[in-house]
Amino acid sequence: MTNKATPATGHRQIVLELNELCPSLLDRLIGEDLLPHFAALRSESEVWVTRPDVDDDTLLEPWIQWYSVHTGLPFDEHRVFHLTDGARAGHRDVFRMLLDAGRSVIDFGSMNVAPFADPDGVFIADPWSEDGRSHPGAFDVYARFVSENVREYSNAGRAMSAADYLRFLGFMVSHGLSVETVRAILAQLASEKLRESRLSWKRVMLLDRLNFDVFRAAWKKRKPDFATFFSNSVAHVQHSYWRHMDPAAFAVKPGPGEMALYRHAVRDAYVAMDRLVGGFRALAARHDATLIFATALSQQPFLRYEDKGGQNFYRLHDVDAFLREAGIAYREASPTMTHQYMLECGDAAGARAARKRLEQYTDCEGRQVFGFPAIESAPGALYFGCQISRPVDEDEQIRDGGRNRAVDFASLFYRIDALKSGRHHPDGCLWIANGNPRVHERRASILDILPTQLALAGIAVPEGLAGKPLLEHAAG
């Protein structure tokens, strides 16, 4: 393979898209000497706290905010509201701008990005994408394995086959699997077997290790001009276990058993991410790349349902079996985030019919079981999910009004084993390791990130974008 030469006027960039890490928690844990690699990265970086491109809390979602980061467009212009809408929206993003300028690119799981095929690059879709095709196609084995585990991690009835694991292992052995990662996997499995099965929550951090091994191998082989690496592990842990880190903020207190298991979950997730940052710092130093760390947004305690026992999430045991039994016509059903699914129904009439049928399911209080987003997706697509958030009794029934019958709730749904504890916060992190350490008091917009990346690459920033290159501002 012939690599495209990095232009003399540009800089190689590795962008760590570490979703929803919190500026305040980073400061605290760095102060406690728990994050040496984050501390070192900050000491060599220009540092900003970022603000989002929206004021409406309902739009403060990572699949919206990351799309704004990648395109430089605010939501009011791009109107991408759903997790899977980015692939079909058609806006030029940072990846296409760089490709059009002759640069080589790796996109390793960035959220809500449309696929591309660069002969010298790599594209791996985010795990929630309904179109998981990768480039080169050899990465499909990896991407599909990761996607299945991310989407169905809570569903014991959706175990992957031995053949799936063997294909995945074969891919990993030939794509960078490290001895350190193998040791970590074996230690994790032993802790679940010998100590406590619920320690399986830590597997999310093993996924980061696997992702880093594959990314590092791809980077060394291709030495691209620009690469992104997305991780959702800390965001996931914060959503689930913030109340265990800070029980005083919540009315629903975890019991002693939960506290023993999850008290340090958020801290441990940051420590694991710190180890990953150390690997990226070493990789960037060896290949003379500028390391950029961004979070798009962050989190804070989620207290809205505390007076009702906290917000529970319920998922279908088998979405395909349920839809068939309900008589709903569809082409494909894809799990997205937490309790939500996306149906491809073929056309708008099919989506309307599917919604009408789902609306016929009501709970014991007469409320609809399934909820739908305020903004529709593309014609023919339907997002839906169980909107019951209260605790549900084991023998509770729901009503199927379409067939005038009662159905056991537990026969259709299972509860995800964690109350929602974290919600989104508008503050984000942006650190650019350019060797000119400085903490900026003025907040940057997430819309400034794309122009800054283009400027670092020596590429003219398109006219009409709201954001501006931050390093030019800093120099001024």
- pTM for this prediction: 0.90
User: What's the pLDDT at 338?
Assistant: 76
199-249 confidence digits (pLDDT tens):
889 999 999 999 999 999 999 999 999 999 999 999 999 999 999 999 999
362 beta partners = 368, 399
Q: Which of 108, 107, 87 is nearest to 99 (CA)?
A: 107
Q: Which of 427, 432, 428, 429 is nearest to 46 (CA)?
A: 432
Residue 373: both structure tokens together? 């987003």
| Domain residue limits at 30 | 12-302+426-475
Residues 405 and 446 in one domain: no
Q: Is residue 327 part of a domain?
A: yes
Element (H, E) at 228: strand 226-231
On whether both 408 and 449 belong to a single domain, the answer is no
Q: Does 7 reside within a domain?
A: no
Residue 250 located in a structural domain: yes
Confidence band, pLDDT 50/70/90 cuts, at residue 4:
very low
Residue 146 in domain = yes
97, two tokens: 């701008």
Establish if 116 belongs to a structural domain: yes
Asked if residue 475 has pLDDT above 90, the reply is no
Asked if residue 3 belongs to a domain, the reply is no
Average pLDDT, the chain: 91
Domain count, the chain: 2
- 253 and 377 co-located in one domain: no
* pLDDT band, very low/low/confident/very high, at 465 (cuts 50, 70, 90): very high
| 335 and 468 inside one domain | no
Q: Check whether residue 276 and residue 241 sit in a common domain.
A: yes
Which of 4-8, 61-65, 124-128 is modeled with the greatest confidence? 61-65
pLDDT at 160: 78
The number of beta carbons lying within 10 Å of the beta carbon of residue 394 is: 7
Residue type, 441: E
d(CA 235, CA 154): 16
Closest CA to 115 of 139, 148, 146: 139
Residues 438 and 402 in one domain: no
| C-alpha to C-alpha distance for 314 and 385, rounded to whole angstroms | 8
Q: Answer with the residue of higher pLDDT: 160 or 389.
A: 389
pLDDT above 90: residue 82: no
Instruction: Give the other-Cβ count within 10 Å of 120's Cβ.
Output: 18
- Answer yes or no: do 276 and 182 share one domain: yes
Choose the weakest-confidence range: 126-130, 149-153, 173-177: 149-153
Burial of 450 (0-12, 13-18, 19+ CB in 10 A): buried
Distance CA 436, CA 265 (A): 33
Residues 279 and 402 in one domain: no
Model confidence band, residue 3 (pLDDT cutoffs 50, 70, 90): very low
Q: What dihedral angle (degrees, nearest 10) is formed by the CA atoms of 209, 431, 299, 382?
A: -70
Q: Are residues 454 and 404 in the same domain?
A: no
CA within 13 Å, CB half, 365: 6
Going by pLDDT thresholds of 50, 70 and 90, the confidence category of residue 7 is: very low
Check whether residue 384 and residue 365 sit in a common domain: yes
> Which tens digit of pLDDT belongs to each residue from 245-285?
999 999 999 999 999 999 999 999 999 999 999 999 999 99
Asked if the model's pLDDT at residue 473 lies above 60, the reply is no
Specify the CATH number for the domain of residue 279. Answer: 3.40.720.10
Q: How far apart are CA 37 and CA 29, in angstroms?
A: 11
Return the exposure string of 324-353: e unless at least 16 CB atoms fall within 10 Å of the residue's CB, then b.
Answer: eebebebeebbbbbbbbbbbbbeeeebbeb
Taken in order 239, 240, 246, 247, the sign of the CA dihedral is positive
Q: In terms of Cα–Cα distance, which of 268, 260, 245 is closest to 184?
A: 268
- Based on the fold, state whether residues 390 and 448 are members of the same structural domain: no
456 phi/psi in degrees, rounded to 5: -65, -30
Co-location of 259 and 110 in the same domain: yes
**260 CB neighbour count, 10 Å cutoff:** 12
- Total count of residues recorded for the chain: 476
Query: Which pLDDT does position 149 carry in this prediction?
Result: 83
**So what's the pLDDT on residue 242?**
97
Percent share of the chain, pLDDT over 90: 78
Tens digits of residue pLDDT in 302-341: 999 999 889 999 999 999 999 999 999 999 888 887 788 9
Let me know: does 1 contact 120? Beta carbons within 8 Å.
yes
Whether 90 is in a domain gets the answer yes
pLDDT above 50: residue 5 = no
Give me the mean pLDDT over the 363-374 stretch. 91
